[in-house]
Chains A and B, each alone.
Chain A
């Protein structure tokens, strides 16, 4: 008991520990609270939260590349696309129409691993010729790669059905699964469980497990020899090389490991949505993930996670809901004129929904101007920013 009290006392002033604890409690209680608050119709909310978990995974992965190793990646969504398409092609009827005329149905759990390795391979493949470039140049190459990959998938019509994307992906199954009040059913063990879109809570539990595993893995990497090598390369590549760090391998591994997270996040996302389409992986997705990492605090794992959750909520819940709410508010306040559509006025709901680009831009600009170190910065980096240890830019070179 005293040990627990000491543990709490030690960590009660550590913002990272508080963030982990808050996220853990929120993750555990969310399905229950959502069921209670919506009177048993929480599927939509829980499913939304599971999608948010995908972005948390992506932010954790990008944080390895940008935050730890200091390699600016503007095309991260490409690896996400590669992970999704891996599952889409390997686990559906899709390949019947392709030149090999034979559908593959790889089980989800194997495809998850395959997606991870294929994305990591793509990361290494992109990294190998380009890693000798530094800073902005590397950013531009990744940007180009991020633009090419979704278009490539769109154009390879024989393999990926082009703009329509791949639909009706296989439903992951497990021999046993526990359901209970959190999913609005009786406590029971189900056999031959299928992860259909009706089982939002199952997807949610799965993504929580993936996120927890990723956090543990990345935390270990952070303190490992490789993690320290990443940070050494980030701070001063020449000095790191002089200390015996193999900079090329270190950076390649950062790219590959960072990409691997979006690989299995992509496989999960494709399986959950049961649809993979080339439009879901554009530049805006890469930028959103990067903003999540920067907003949360680059180089800090709980920071990236908090940033991902916050920005995800703003972009996928707050902004989409805002038009209806503002329209209802205008009605309640008696400003019915605002809701009438005229040739010069699209109606307040449409007006608010058109504000989304401006709001996103304002968020990005104001974070950078007001709190460039992020909401939950890594301690090391805060000190660098405050004391200005380096007169050279810390991040990209």
Chain B
């Protein structure tokens, strides 16, 4: 009898998962797709591919950030609000390092490859160390506190990082040197910017390297084990604190790389850039299934493409509403995300 009573909330909680809700969700998606196709057909196909490449390039940046969100959430179930600002910090630090390595806009193109890589490596290292420090100061002491506590310190850390960048450079939009070649390639009649291809290939390399690392290395195995069951992992001799610190390290490496790529691609950064970009990337992580690594990558690409299509074919003032609408709809209709693995109610 008590068992039957205890089961009632489960049926009540599932009322949103009924077929009607799923059908309604599918209907909305279908209407959106039809509307988009209608708008696409009104413009010429060249424009379509232009929008698509912008979407994919943006999306690959979101994917890089989303991986950090999804990893941290997977392992300690924390929405790391500071992650978006770690991404901005990557752009800011690299911007400050360019003069040190003699990189300036309009110089010799290919000669910059090695200094640029050096800047990238130093930036990623610095950002990663900052992120590990944040974890050590703000999240580790609260590991056994109520969940709200680390969430609020994460918001506090986000504010501190933004404040530090604000103090450093002020409230202005900063120009980021345009170092990537502006040439456009013509592939079977479709014009694609070399810039978009470079951004995409960098992101793919990083995501693939990262996935291999998680799947093949010992540390990656430790991370997956910790994400599944922290206590059991500890019993198996995994150093939990080190594994979590490593997660923050790697997440920040990817976010730092994302910051540099964003700077090179958009050529414009500001101290509060991380807030909205971080939320988009977080939406991507949720969309793909939070805690799921390929999901984050695919979610990032999709969010980038949806945002670009909305900017290109509809009204860009509504893009943020569409993206956050997707966030809510995903959680309401399919809380496990597109490729989700984790159970939503824990």
Contacts and interface: CB of A to CB of B under 8 A. Distances in A.
B153 A369 contact: yes
A364 B152 contact: yes
B28 to A, nearest CB: 13
B163 A372 contact: no
Contacts of B335: 133, 137
Interface stretch (A99-107, A146-154, A186-194, A262-270): A146-154
* 4 A-B pairs with least C-beta separation: A357-B163, A364-B156, A361-B159, A358-B163
Nearest to A354: B167
B7 to A, nearest CB: 9
Contact of B167 (A151, A294, A355, A372): A355
Nearest to A126: B328
A366 to B, nearest CB: 8
A132 B12 contact: yes
Interface in B313-346: 315, 317-318, 320-321, 324-325, 327-328, 331-332, 335, 344-346
A51 to B, nearest CB: 22
Interface string B98-136: 000000000000000000000000000000000000000
A346 B172 CA distance: 13
A27 interface: no
Contact of A364 (B142, B153, B315): B153
Contacts of A313: none
Interface string A340-375: 000000100001001111111111110111001000
B224 to A, nearest CB: 20
B155 A238 contact: no
A143 B324 CA distance: 9
B97 interface: no
Contact of B324 (A147, A242, A363): A147
Interface residues of B, number: 60
Contacts of A141: 327-328, 331-332
B77 to A, nearest CB: 7
Interface stretch (A110-118, A199-207, A389-397): A389-397
Interface stretch (A16-24, A88-96, A283-291, A324-332): A283-291
B147 A144 contact: no
A372 B141 CA distance: 11
Contacts of B16: 129-130, 132
Interface string A34-67: 0000000000000000000000000000000010
A162 to B, nearest CB: 9
B152 A155 contact: no
Contacts of B15: 132
A242 B5 contact: yes
B146 interface: yes
Contact of A369 (B141, B160, B317): B141
Given A365-B156, A369-B141, A139 B332 contact: no
A154 B160 contact: no
Nearest to B158: A361
A142 B92 CA distance: 31
A382 to B, nearest CB: 13
A365 B6 contact: no
A238 B315 CA distance: 45
- Using C-beta atoms within 8 Å of the partner chain, give the interface range for chain A: 35 or more
B142 A372 contact: yes
Contacts of B21: 129
Given A134-B345, A155-B317, A358-B164, A147 B152 contact: no
B149 interface: yes
B13 A368 contact: no
Contacts of A129: 16, 21, 332
Contacts of A72: 148, 151
B170 interface: yes
A230 B146 CA distance: 18
A279 interface: no
A365 B153 contact: yes
Contacts of B12: 132, 247-248
Contacts of B159: 357-358, 360-361, 364
A147 B141 CA distance: 30
A144 B328 contact: yes
Which one of A129, A155, A360, A365 has the highest number of Cβ atoms from chain B below 10 Å of its Cβ?
A365
B145 A372 contact: yes
Nearest to B6: A242
Nearest to A290: B152
A241 B156 contact: no
Contacts of A396: 146-148
Contacts of A134: 344-346
A372 B328 CA distance: 30
Nearest to B275: A283
19 contacts: A129-B16, A132-B13, A136-B73, A137-B331, A141-B331, A144-B283, A238-B6, A242-B5, A290-B152, A294-B148, A357-B163, A358-B163, A360-B163, A361-B156, A361-B157, A365-B153, A368-B153, A369-B141, A397-B147
A71 B182 CA distance: 50
B77 A136 contact: yes
Interface in A218-257: 237-238, 241-242, 247-248
B236 interface: no
A136 B13 contact: no
A128 B143 CA distance: 32
Interface string A371-393: 01000000000000100000001
A121 interface: no
A395 B166 contact: no
